[in-house]
Structure 1
Amino acid sequence: MGDLSKQASNRVLRRKVFYIPGYDPIHPRRYRELYRKEGAAQARISGYQIDLKPKATKGGYGWQVTGQIDGHKTEAEVDVLVWSDIVKSSMNQGILSTYLQLFRTAWAYIGSGALFRLMKLRQGPMVAALYPILLLLVQLIVALLAGWGMGAVVTLFSHWSLGLLAAGGLAWGILAMFRRWDNRILAYYLMHDYAYSAQSWGANPPELETRMAAFRSSIARAMAEEVDEVLVVGHSSGAHLAVSILSDLIRAGQVGSGPALGFLSLGQVVPMVSFLPEARRLRGDLAFLSIRDELTWVDVTAPGDGCAFALCDPVAVTGVAPPNKRWPLVISAAFSQTLSPERWQELRRQYFRLHFQYMCAFDRPGDYDYFKITAGPLTLAARYAGRAASKSRIETPLSGYRSIA
């Protein structure tokens, strides 16, 4: 097993970072541009230097970072572990298929009782989960009412069959119009997101398990390289993927006396999956990872992020915390304090933008600084050594399903 006291004392000269996105169909260059823009902004605010250049090695999509922070130079290579092709494929649904998804997903959460337990945990992410369901139902009602009205008018002046045809045509046209507008209202996108986890009642689909195995192989290779730290960052849905990937990595004996291993989970939505009946694999991995000394796991959320289960310890609330649990260290990014009042007022209603704030610049950063963590001279273990968990964290076990694989 790794020696955390040794890891905490080591300064990082070279780091390998793996970023696992959430359910996002966007090309990974989006993350590079976000890092470039926000890293430059944070450097100006905090008085250090961040430089990006193209990735020099073969393999997946990524970039290289040179940080001049706290008087030290650190080289980091960032790789995005891409599963956007799987996301795009799962989103390739027509209007009727999406409405079938809606009813199946609603039944998965309501029928299992998970919805009501999740609402006791945090209301923000549940509002986000109900948003696509309610909006799609409103769209359906509007289309049906408009179609009914058109059908009634046409029937007055012609045969009922023409009225039925006119009603169906108008209703379908309205639904198609709403579908074309979805890049603004995101109802279909969010519906596909929640449906992807719910389709197997919390179990990972086979194509995702295959991709996760490939991700584990990439991380395992990095653990054998001449670097001082391997840092895995999981954002949103990517956090629960990282939990299982890192658990498999440790079980396979691929974490030894080499680089320090850090896991940074950001804006996690773990309970959306772990509270479902068939999420035995994830629940087992949460329990396993929570006791390991081969890694340091820091979980960062913020109450201002309405899309995340803010300050909810994902192991404890799932009800699988062992007596000797040590991870994760749950801390708050405290948006209302680390953003200026003007910036906070500007962003506080931009819910999806705030869900990405963890990878962005802060006006008044506290001990959480994404760019110091990924490009600075300290390991994750050293940076948070002795840091107490947030006093307002939630640890009440609320999941109705606690069986593990």
Structure 2
Amino acid sequence: MAGFKRKVFYVGGFDPRGVRFYHALAAEQLDRYGKLTGEPATISTRRNAGPFRTDWSILNPAQGVSTEYSFLRWDDIVRKAWIRNPLSLGLRAWRAYRANIRHLDFETGKKLGKGPLITLFYPPILSIALPLLLTLLIGGVAAIWLPTAVAFLIGLVAAIAISAPLLKKWHAPWLLRFFVFNSELGGGEAHPEIEARLDNFAKEISASFDDPWDEIILLTHSNGSILSVPLMVRLLDRCGGTMPPNFALVTMGHCIPLVACRRDATRFHDQLRRLAQSDFRWIDIGSPPDGAAYFGVNPMAIVAPDPRPRMELLSPRFHLFYDPHTYHRGYANKYEIHFDYLRMGDRRSPLDFPSLMTAARPIDASIAEFRAIQ
């Protein structure tokens, strides 16, 4: 029987790929962990545990660890929100960015980090500038031999054909969908499906509080960290305002200010203030080169001057755990950097995903080991 029993609830980001992709990623990283550490860790097959929950087990016999992992699904909502028609995406993006320009607190946003602001605005600029420049270039050359109108029509068609795969490669359409979703989520009325799903998640998580777990972790990544704010409010309501001592919220690559810096996101601000008045453990892991995340930012401090939760703001310091050529090769791909929190480097880090899942100790002990590494 395992000596250390951990329960993990995972809420992922704005990603339509769903549970199959993330189970395969976890299996790949646990296999890598076994090869690098000499501690073979196993992962079970997936099993449905409810309408919006898929479970699997992670075992590390070398340390006597059993981790029960629950993937809380909202990828079906993401797929419904995944705008496929380019014209519809353009129109919705126009509305979202118009709302952002009108309501975003740019002064606060710049203080929290310029990288996410660049990530926010480069997709629409790139999506307009690249086809326009190509149209002018190709049309201008074609106009040497053809009538001007015909030349620039050919230029426009060619520019769209050339731009589309390049924009997809640079993940501009994905980012546009991501920003549209969060603009509508933060600035408008409550999203009925999201509200119902979070109610379900809170019920699933709170049901585990009476079980004899050594540790319970609510682990979120990217957009899932935005959802963790209203989810934590629900959990606090269910627990009478006090979370169990073995509970910790862990956010990876959080982008909470994307909504929190909207002046019209009053409901979200109230939820952040509620969290700021509560006492629980919150650990954020954010990488400075990750342009889609806010490194070292306590999101509660945006609306509350002295938040109570015991929050730890950590960089994963990937440069210490990847070989230089591996690290710098990955550094060029900003999209992949945003998923490195769920991977393992060339050496074990106490805070990499498989180590957190297989360690025979609470996360605070892993943090202490991590801080001691020079």
Q: Which moved more, 1:250-259 or 1:275-284?
A: 250-259
State which of 55, 67, 77 in structure 1 corresponds to 2:60.
Answer: 67
Q: 1:321 to 1:41 in 2, by over 3 A?
A: farther
Partner of 2:333: 350
Q: 1:196 to 1:43 in 2, by over 3 A?
A: same
Alignment check: 8 A CA contact 1:15 1:227 kept? yes
Partner of 1:401: none
Q: 1:107 to 1:223 in 2, by over 3 A?
A: same
Report the 3-state secondary structure (helix = DSSP H, G, I; strand = E; otherwise coil) of the residue aligned with 1:234.
strand
Partner of 1:124: 115
Unaligned runs of 5+ in 2: none
Q: 1:140 to 1:206 in 2, by over 3 A?
A: farther
Q: CA deviation at 1:62?
A: 3.2
Q: 1:57 to 1:378 in 2, by over 3 A?
A: farther
Partner of 1:319: 303
Partner of 1:262: 248
CA RMSD of aligned residues (A): 3.3
Report the 3-state secondary structure (helix = DSSP H, G, I; strand = E; otherwise coil) of the residue aligned with 2:278.
coil
Report the 3-state secondary structure (helix = DSSP H, G, I; strand = E; otherwise coil) of the residue aligned with 1:49.
coil
Aligned length: 367
Q: What do residues 252-282 of structure 1 show as CA deviations (whole Å, max 9, x unaligned)?
A: 2278786721211001111111001232333
Report the 3-state secondary structure (helix = DSSP H, G, I; strand = E; otherwise coil) of the residue aligned with 2:308.
coil
Q: CA deviation at 1:26?
A: 1.0
Q: 1 CA distance for matches of 2:315 and 2:138?
A: 49
Q: 2 CA distance for matches of 1:68 and 1:304?
A: 35
Q: TM-score, normalised by structure 1?
A: 0.79
Return the structure number with greater helix share: 2
Partner of 2:177: 192
Looking at both structures, which has the greater relative contact order when contacts are Cα pairs under 8 Å and sequence separation is at least 6? 1
Q: 1 CA distance for matches of 2:64 and 2:369?
A: 24
Q: 1:259 to 1:130 in 2, by over 3 A?
A: same
Q: 1:81 to 1:182 in 2, by over 3 A?
A: farther
Q: 1:46 to 1:314 in 2, by over 3 A?
A: farther
Q: 1 CA distance for matches of 2:208 and 2:134?
A: 53
Alignment check: 8 A CA contact 2:225 2:254 kept? yes
Q: CA deviation at 1:176?
A: 6.5
Aligned-residue identity in percent: 23
Q: 1 CA distance for matches of 2:212 and 2:364?
A: 19
Q: 1:47 to 1:151 in 2, by over 3 A?
A: closer
Partner of 2:217: 231
Alignment check: 8 A CA contact 1:49 1:67 kept? yes
Alignment check: 8 A CA contact 1:296 1:381 kept? no
Q: 1:91 to 1:16 in 2, by over 3 A?
A: same
Partner of 1:289: 275
AA in 2 matched with 1:78:
Y
Partner of 1:32: 23
Q: CA deviation at 1:95?
A: 2.0
After superposition, where does 1:59-138 map in structure 2 within 5 Å? 59=50, 60-68=53-61, 72-138=63-129
Q: Which moved more, 1:260-269 or 1:375-384?
A: 375-384
Q: 1:284 to 1:67 in 2, by over 3 A?
A: farther
Q: TM-score, normalised by structure 2?
A: 0.85
Q: CA deviation at 1:202?
A: 3.6
AA in 2 matched with 1:305:
D
Q: 1:313 to 1:338 in 2, by over 3 A?
A: farther
Alignment check: 8 A CA contact 1:95 1:176 kept? no
Report the 3-state secondary structure (helix = DSSP H, G, I; strand = E; otherwise coil) of the residue aligned with 2:211.
coil
Partner of 2:266: 280
Alignment check: 8 A CA contact 2:216 2:246 kept? yes
Partner of 2:45: 54
Q: CA deviation at 1:207?
A: 2.3
Alignment check: 8 A CA contact 1:236 1:308 kept? yes
Report the 3-state secondary structure (helix = DSSP H, G, I; strand = E; otherwise coil) of the residue aligned with 1:199.
helix
Q: CA deviation at 1:66?
A: 0.3
